[in-house]
Amino acid sequence: MNRLAGSLIRLYPAAWRKRYEAEFAAMLEEVPQGWSAVFDLLEGATRMHLSMPSFPKLALTLSLLGLGVSFTIAPRYESTTVPIYHGERSDRQAAIEGLQAMEANVLSRTSLSNLIQDPRLNLFPDESPSKT
């Protein structure tokens, strides 16, 4: 078990080992060895790595965290527009009514059905009829 504990010291950060390795190895020789000691060494190495920040470790940690968060958030795509009317005030109401009519046409059941079934778009490739 001493050989295993000695090799676990290599898991500690290099800066920490440079300063404390000799003392730590001497202390390990006097401590009773067991699986709890191995787990304590693994925990200590992890804590030392987390307590001694460096840019590469920080970048890796934040990248992994961001990657994990990105898989938990469902993508949402939204397109918006704000029409700006540059005309006479008397024509403004007619323009608004025209835009509302266009919106009703675009969002109509027929228009959306044609869009979904358009073979050029291939929106649902897995659901298309098999070609035999």
Residues in the chain, how many? Answer: 132
What are the b/e assignments for 47-58, b being 16+ CB within 10 Å?
A: ebbeeeeeeeee
Tokens 């080992």 identify what position? Answer: 17
Given a cut of 60, is residue 117 above it in pLDDT? yes
* 40 vs 76: CA distance, rounded Å: 45
Q: Give the pLDDT confidence of 44-86 residue by residue, as tens digits.
A: 888 887 777 677 777 888 898 888 888 888 878 888 888 777 7
Q: Binning pLDDT at 50, 70 and 90, where does residue 104 land? A: very high
Instruction: State the pTM of this model.
Output: 0.37
CA-wise closest residue to 119 among 107, 128, 111: 128
Q: So what's the pLDDT on residue 43?
A: 86
Tokens 């190495």 identify what position? Answer: 45
Largest CA distance in the chain: 95
* 81 vs 79: CA distance, rounded Å: 7
